[in-house]
Amino acid sequence: MTSLRSRVGFRYAMIVAICFGFTAWLVYHEFVEEPQWFKQQGVAEPPGSEVSEWIEIGMFVTIPVLFAMGWWLVRKSLRPLGELASGVERFNAQTLGQRMPRSFNGDEVDRMAAAFNAMAGRLEQSFQQIREFTLHASHELKTPLTVMRSQLETSLARETSLTDSQRAALESLHEEVLRLAKIVDGLTLLTKADAGMVALERKPVQFDELVREAAEDAEVLAQPGGIKVQLTRCDAAMVIGDRHRLRQVLLNLVDNAVKYNDTGGRVEISLQRDGEFAELVVTNTGKGIEPELLGRVFERFARGDEAQGKAMEGCGLGLTIARWVVEAHNGLIRIASEPGRTTSVAVRLPVAVPTELNEHSP
C-alpha cells in the first residue's frame, strides 16, 4: 500500500517527465528540424528568429521546473500528515500519554492533530477512571470474600451434623468464593501493572530449575485424568527476573495444559537454549483452540466454548497475566493450535549475560 505522498510524487514526476520530453522535442524541432527545412527550401531564416526561439524554449523549460517545485512543496506539505498517520498507528492503551506533534499554523493537519490529542486526553482520563474503579472495587471485595471463605472453611471443618447434600453445597460455595477471590487478585494485579505500580525483582533465576518444578507439579495435576507428562528437554538457562512471577507463568501454562486436555492425553514440556534466548514450549493434546479465538487468547476473560461449557476452574485472566510477566522480562509469548490435535504455547526469554550476573552478584 503506497502512501499519499508517494502517489502525489509519482503523478508529479510523470507530469515533469512529459514536460521535459515535450521541451526536448521542441528544442530538436527548433534547432534541428526547422533549420534543415529552411535549408531544403533554399530560404533563409527570418532575422531574430533564433532569439525568439530561445525565449520560447525558456518559457517551456520553466513549466517542468515549476512542476518540480510544486512537487517538492506538496511533499513538504504532506509530511505532517504522514507523521500524524505514523503516530496514530502507534497509538494504543500503553501509549495514551503520548501526543501528536503540532505545527500550530492552524491548517487542517494541525487541527486534526489537535483534535486527536484532545481525544487521547479524554481516553487517558477514562482509562485512569477505569483503573481506579477496578482497584477500589477489588479492594472492597477482598474483605467480604475473606470473611465468607473463613466462615465456609470453619463450617466444613467443625460441623459434623451436615448432611451429604449440605456439605456438597458448602463445598461448592467454597469453590466459587475461591474462584471469585482469584478473579479479584488477577484484576488487581493487571490493573496495577497497567498503571506501572507493580515492581518486579531483577535477580538471577535458574530458569531450568523452575521448569523442572513445574513439570513435577504438572504430574500431580495430571494424575486424576490419567494424563502423561513428559519433560522432553531441559537445557540449563539463567535469566534475570522475578522468580515468583516466572513461576506463576509456568504454573499457569502447565495447569492449562492439563485442564484443557483429554483423559489419557499427554503434556510435553521442553526448554531449549537458543543462542541468547531460552525457549520454553508446553504442548498438550485435546480439542485445541478455535481459529476465531486464537487471536484473542491473551485478552482478559477470553475463554473458548470448551471452557464455558464445562465446570472448569479459572477466570480467563491466566494467559493475560502470563503475557504481562513475559513481556515485562523482555520476552515473547505465542500460541499455536491444531483443532482436535495439539496446542503449543512458547515462551522466549533472554538469558542472562555475564555482565548482568556480575551486577547482581552478592
The reply to whether 264 falls in a domain is yes
The reply to whether 71 falls in a domain is yes
Of 90, 116, 149, which one is at a domain's C-terminal end?
Answer: 90
The reply to whether 119 falls in a domain is no
The reply to whether 266 falls in a domain is yes
Q: Which of 182, 351, 362 is nearest to 275 (CA)?
A: 351
CATH of the domain at 211: 3.30.565.10
3-class SS of residue 335: strand
The reply to whether 118 falls in a domain is no
Same domain membership, residue 86 and residue 217: no
pLDDT tens column, 47-85: 555 566 666 666 666 766 766 776 677 777 777 777 777
Kindly tell me the sign of the dihedral angle through the C-alpha atoms of 71, 74, 80, 84. negative
pTM of the model: 0.64
The reply to whether 209 falls in a domain is yes
Same domain membership, residue 213 and residue 84: no
CA–CA gap between residue 295 and residue 337 (Å, rounded):
11
pLDDT tens column, 87-115: 787 877 667 788 888 878 777 778 888 88
The number of distinct structural domains making up the chain is 2
Same domain membership, residue 354 and residue 218: yes
The reply to whether 113 falls in a domain is no
pLDDT tens column, 1-23: 455 556 666 766 777 777 777 77
The reply to whether 78 falls in a domain is yes
**Domain housing 22:** 4-90
pLDDT tens column, 246-261: 999 999 999 999 999 9
Of 50, 69, 90, which one is at a domain's C-terminal end?
Answer: 90
- Residue 317, pLDDT > 70, answer yes
Kindly tell me the sign of the dihedral angle through the C-alpha atoms of 55, 60, 63, 68. negative
Of 75, 90, 105, which one is at a domain's C-terminal end?
Answer: 90
Same domain membership, residue 212 and residue 86: no
